[in-house]
């Protein structure tokens, strides 16, 4: 190698490594994560099964609604009242369901109406909506008829 070219690489300054951003948009902050579904805590002993909902022809509708809610953040789903979040640590006082032993007592229960009185019941763990019950007859949080 010639001496002139070799010297050129030795004399390169730190300034020559710096580059300026030209017209590149920087992301401001972190975007909230979208809802993810989990059936890990699904209780097969209470409510209905997936087969029951399939026979009643509401399983496909439920899956479609759950698919749609996965395009939202937790905050968006609760603000739009797609998912209703109840106070933390309170299991409904008037319910045909009982608190499953495998679920912590201090969670905030949630309900998502599919159509009419059919609901999916669960709770959030960050952005994960853990589905626990299928409630076809609105028996999780029983209210007086108005």
Q: What integer pLDDT is reported at residue 143 of this predicted model?
A: 81
**Model pTM?**
0.78
Q: What integer pLDDT is reported at residue 74 of this predicted model?
A: 97
Q: Which residues of the chain have pLDDT under 50?
A: none
3-state secondary structure of 91: coil
Domain boundaries defined on the chain: 34-95+104-146
User: In the CATH scheme, what is the code of domain 34-95+104-146?
Assistant: 3.30.2310
Q: What integer pLDDT is reported at residue 139 of this predicted model?
A: 95
102-123, pLDDT tens digit by residue? 999 999 999 999 999 999 999 9
Q: What integer pLDDT is reported at residue 31 of this predicted model?
A: 83
Q: What integer pLDDT is reported at residue 117 of this predicted model?
A: 93
């Amino acid at each position: 190698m010639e001496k002139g070219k070799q010297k050129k690489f030795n004399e390169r300054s730190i300034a020559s490594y710096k580059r300026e951003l030209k017209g590149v948009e920087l992301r401001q902050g972190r975007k909230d994560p979208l809802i993810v579904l989990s059936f890990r805590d699904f209780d097969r002993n209470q409510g209905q099964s997936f087969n029951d909902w399939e026979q009643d022809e509401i399983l496909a509708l439920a899956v479609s609604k759950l698919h749609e809610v996965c395009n939202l953040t937790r905050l968006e789903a609760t603000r739009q009242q797609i998912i209703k979040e109840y106070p933390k640590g309170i299991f409904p006082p008037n319910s045909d369901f009982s608190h499953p032993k495998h679920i912590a007592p201090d969670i905030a229960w949630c309900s998502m109406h599919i159509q009419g009185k059919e609901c999916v019941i669960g709770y959030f763990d960050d952005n994960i909506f853990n589905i626990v019950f299928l409630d076809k007859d609105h028996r999780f949080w029983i209210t007086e008829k108005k």
